[in-house]
């Protein structure tokens, strides 16, 4: 867990609370230092103060959401900034706590945020699985269609060859077919093109 706050006392309080709950923590006093820590460590959760000198917590939040979408972010605000804290939720923060806060406030916010992040990760995993399944099914259907066209093309060619050996055979065997299929086909591609032309007419 990364704790980002320019107030050293707040940082230490949050650090003690988080470590007592079983989290391993690092701290940063400003946005730039926070970005360096994120790049250096495997950060899963960030407690981020809204008001800091230099890069604000909101600016840092936007960067985190854009570059590290899997990181869980809990914002810290003063009571007067509650509306701003709510706005950070719209921007992508997972939860927020207000100063002054108790240990239970911090632990509950972290719990809610982690649960929210886990649901987001699970939904993303499910979405990817669905996309892969749909892609595989589409490829399978495409191959089945290709196989079917090849089979029909061979049968069409064979029937046409047999029909030409009989008087009136072509007309009698093929008169009910669309015009595109009443002629001899020299290749699967030609037969496929004829089928596509028929489909275009039926739209």
> Does a structural domain hold residue 109?
no
How many domains, in total, are found in the chain? 2
Cis check: omega of the bond before 100, within 30 degrees of 0:
yes
For residues 93 and 61, give the distance between their C-alpha atoms in angstroms, rounded to a whole number: 7
CATH number at residue 11: 3.40.50.2300
CA proximity to 67, closest of 85, 92, 84: 92
Q: Of residues 43 and 86, which shows the higher confidence score?
A: 43
**170 band by pLDDT with thresholds 50, 70 and 90:** low
Domain boundary among 49, 82, 101: 101
> Does a structural domain hold residue 119?
no
Query: Are residue 49 and residue 92 in the same domain, yes or no?
Result: yes
Query: Are residue 7 and residue 97 in the same domain, yes or no?
Result: yes
For residues 149 and 192, give the distance between their C-alpha atoms in angstroms, rounded to a whole number: 6
Instruction: Summarize pLDDT for 82-109 with one digit per residue, the tens.
Output: 788 888 888 999 988 988 888 898 999 8
Query: Are residue 6 and residue 89 in the same domain, yes or no?
Result: yes
Q: What range defines the domain where residue 12 resides?
A: 2-101
Contact criterion met (CB below 8 Å) for 53 and 73: no
pLDDT at 171: 61
How remote is the C-alpha of 198 from its chain's centroid? 38
Please state, in angstroms and as integers, the Cα–Cα distance from residue 162 to each residue in 150, 156, 158, 175, 186, following that order. Answer: 19, 10, 6, 15, 15
> Does a structural domain hold residue 122?
no
For residues 89 and 166, give the distance between their C-alpha atoms in angstroms, rounded to a whole number: 79
**168 band by pLDDT with thresholds 50, 70 and 90:** low
CA proximity to 25, closest of 9, 35, 11, 36: 11
> Does a structural domain hold residue 163?
yes
How confident is the prediction for the chain on average, in pLDDT? 86
């Amino acid at each position: 867990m990364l704790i980002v706050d320019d107030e050293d006392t707040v940082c230490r309080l949050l650090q003690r609370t988080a470590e007592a709950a079983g989290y391993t923590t690092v701290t940063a006093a400003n946005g730039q230092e926070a970005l360096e820590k994120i790049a250096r460590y495997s950060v899963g959760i960030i407690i981020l103060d809204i008001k800091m000198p230099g890069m604000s917590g909101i600016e840092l939040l936007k960067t985190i959401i854009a570059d590290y979408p899997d990181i869980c972010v809990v914002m810290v605000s003063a009571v007067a900034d509650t509306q701003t804290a709510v706005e950070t939720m719209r921007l992508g923060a997972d939860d927020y706590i207000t100063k002054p806060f108790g240990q239970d406030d911090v632990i509950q916010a972290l719990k809610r945020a982690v649960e929210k992040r886990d649901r987001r990760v699970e939904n993303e995993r499910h979405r990817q699985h669905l996309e892969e399944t749909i892609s595989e099914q589409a490829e399978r259907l495409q191959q089945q269609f290709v196989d079917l066209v090849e089979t029909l093309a061979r049968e069409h060619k064979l029937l046409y060859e047999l029909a030409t050996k009989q008087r009136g055979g072509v007309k009698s065997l093929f008169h009910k077919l669309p015009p595109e299929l009443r002629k001899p086909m020299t290749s699967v591609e030609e037969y496929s093109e004829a089928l596509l032309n028929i489909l275009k007419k039926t739209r």
